[in-house]
Amino acid sequence: MDKEHEPAASPWKRRFIVLFLLAVALPGLIGLTLLRRFSVDEAVDYVSPTEHFKYGSTGGEHEMGFPYWIWRALPEVCPQYLPGKGYQSLGMVYEKNPDGSERDVPVGTSKRRYQGIDRVFVNCAVCHVSTVRTAADQPPTIVLGMPAATFNMKGFEEFFFRCAADPKFSKEYILPEIARQGGELNLLDRYLVYPAAIAIMRDRVLALAGRFDWVFKQQEWGPGRVDTFNSAKVIFNFPMHLLDPREFDAPADFPSIWRQRQRKEPKEMQLHWDGNNTTVEERNKSAAFGTGTTPPTIDLKRIKRVEAWILDATPPAFSTFFPVDLQLAAQGAPIYQEYCAACHGASGSDFTGEFVGTIEPLAKIGTDRRRLDSYTYTLAVNQATLYAGYPWRFTHFQKTHGYANMPLDGLWLRAPYLHNGSVPSLRDLLEPAANRPKAFYRGNDVYDPVKVGFVSNVTEAGGKKFFRLDTTLPGNGNGGHEGKAYGTALSAGEKAALVEFLKTF
């Protein structure tokens, strides 16, 4: 057929195709693109179990995660609420990149892409990693599994609460700071996603601050300590203003987390300072609430990786940092066996002992009772509702009436001592309470190998002010664990030998 006689394409057909593309195909493509972005739930993973411990997710980013660039910007937007420069001033630990620069996030934080944004929040390592220096002019060594002796948890919480209440917690201040730090947000992020995220985060943090307002009324915890179970009461919406005042001001040291297998095999020990649980896995899930998880959002798969690592993780030996007088230590061994082994185990790796992992009644041990009183029967009953409907529902929390006899693995790294960290060194612990320091400074990572504890008589170093712990304040009492049975009546020579032996743990 001649081309000039072919029918012309209908203009209505062309219009229909254009309208279809504009009305259906293009919105569909945009919708699929947005769905792909905003439906992703993907944590950053690490092959190495130690890297996973330091930076792996527990799931807390779902509920509590800060958008990555907001997390980066806030220390510069609200510097007046920090004691110094950045999160480092709160005692968070930063590792170096191969080029010598600091990593973008500290140890103890994880990343997850969720609802279209990279989010950051804390993980287990924030409370269980710290640094040790052999002298003030020496570089720090990062030690995994030890108590986070420099991390100020209360200061960390208060920083976000106060910053969120500040007028500068707004897109007008945060977005320019993100740009200054090199955050190249695309148009969608700059004009929609991040402005919305800033407003949402402000409202959520302020709502949380209202529930945690009791924190501001407590004595300062200082670095290395947290009021664990009063924080837990907030989860259950306890009327904090109506609680018995004796339940408050109950700071306790972060614990070490090595050798967990030996705490469950051949028998399960009573865990936490007051021995209120006897199952390692349940204790771990409870601790994960402190990293922002909830029953629907907890990342059990990734938490199991942490659990597997801490089962057999071991502390570094004192002798890799400082020399040990083995002859003097040998003299201390029988003293330890006579006075300490029944409650604390045969050694730092052998946990056998008649009373290891059991409760020592408060009337006998005599240490500060605030931590014990903060955990109540009512809280235990409420905890039994956690994970209701799941196979791992909590069933082992119980109210006790004393403190647990703990094994002493890595003892040298667990200073200050007693459950509330009220005695700076092992040598001080072997003195009657009347002779122990009435006040000392926490937060220094320089170690004193003679007294076996962190340097505690320095008020400030390198521009950093250390926390003065006053043992006369509620919750800070340094009494107890004293008398002939606890070694405080030993001679000076016997105490020196015992301390030297304890360096081998």
pLDDT at 101: 85
State the Cα angle at 124 between 51 and 360, rounded to 5°: 130
d(CA 129, CA 53): 10
Structure-block tokens of residue 127? 């409370």
For tokens 């195909």, name the residue: 25
In 3D space, the residue among 219, 215, 283 whose CA is nearest the CA of residue 255 turns out to be 283
Helix-then-strand count for the chain, H and E: 20, 16
**Rounded alpha-carbon distances, angstroms, from residue 214 to 159, 378, 500:** 15, 19, 43
Q: What does the alpha-carbon distance between residue 49 and residue 55 come to, in Å, rounded to a whole number?
A: 10
Q: Which pLDDT belongs to residue 33?
A: 64
pLDDT of amino acid 36: 72
Instruction: Outline where 78-167 has alpha helix (H).
Output: 153-164
Q: Which amino acid is at 296?
A: P
Eight-class DSSP state of 69: H
Which tokens belong to 207? 């709502």
Span between the terminal Cα atoms of the chain, in Å? 99
**Chain mean position to CA 110:** 12
489's tokens:
């009546």
Question: For residue 187, what are the CA distances in angstroms to 66, 68, 170?
Answer: 20, 17, 18
Indicate the length of the chain as a whole number.
505
A 10 A CB-CB count for 267 gives 11
Cα four-point dihedral sign 78, 82, 84, 88:
negative
CA 500/CA 332 separation, integer angstroms: 7
- Full DSSP string of 422-458: -B--HHHHTS-GGGS-SEEEE---BEETTTTEE--S-
In order along the chain (505 residues), what is the average pLDDT of each group of 10 residues? 54 69 66 70 95 97 95 98 97 92 94 94 98 98 98 96 97 97 92 94 94 87 96 89 94 98 95 96 91 90 97 98 98 98 97 97 98 97 91 94 98 99 99 98 98 98 96 98 97 98 98
CA distances from 58 to 134, 241, 384 (A): 33, 31, 21
State the alpha helices, DSSP H only, in 146-236.
153-164, 171-180, 187-188, 194-211, 213-216, 228-235
Query: CB under 8 Å to 246, separation ≥6 — which residues?
Result: 370, 373
Q: What is the pTM of this model?
A: 0.91
Task: State the CB neighbour count (10 A cutoff) for residue 167.
Answer: 7
> Is the four-CA dihedral 493, 498, 501, 503 of positive or negative sign?
negative
Amino acid code (one letter) for 246:
R
